[in-house]
Amino acid sequence: MFEELLPLAQQVAERLIARKETVGIAESSAGGLISAALLSVGGASAYFVGSGVVYTRGARTSLLAIPESALEGIRPSTEPYALLLARSARDRFGSTWALGETGATGPTGNRYGDAPGHACIGIAGPNEKSLTLETGSADRVDNMRAFAAGGLRLLLEALG
């Protein structure tokens, strides 16, 4: 599962270390794979601050301290929601950068009407980026890997 993720994580790590910057992660449907890939690179303590798998409303509240009022007009599993997760993780962890990921892994869609294979990823930092990924697949493991790879690629893009 890590074959595609490890080279991306290595590139992210090298850029963060060279710039003396840090990252925090708030992932959901990727299930911790983004964090695991980044932590697999030696020297991770130089750039990796922390992470959380924010899979439920309770986790969102306890790990990221996002009040319900912050969600007004924002639907989960959207780019604005992914950016909210990223901004909150950056604030909570005190990192230079943060990545927020949310979606529907499969084999079914989510309660918001998104099909399996749908993910939104947001990057917060000196600049912000977001994207929506649609794999068209209901394969849970393949989607988790695709979401993690998409998140690492977007982070690389934001890092320049």
What residue ranges define each of the domains in the chain, with the CATH number in brackets?
5-159 (3.90.950.20)
One digit per residue, pLDDT tens: the chain, 160 residues? 688 999 999 999 999 999 999 999 999 999 999 999 999 999 999 999 999 999 998 999 999 999 999 999 999 999 999 999 999 999 999 999 999 999 999 999 999 999 999 999 999 999 999 999 999 999 999 999 999 999 999 999 999 9
Yes or no: say if 119 and 140 are a contact pair by the CB < 8 Å rule: no
From residue 65, alpha-carbon distances to 5, 24, 57, 104, 108 in Å are: 29, 15, 10, 23, 28
pTM over 0.85: yes
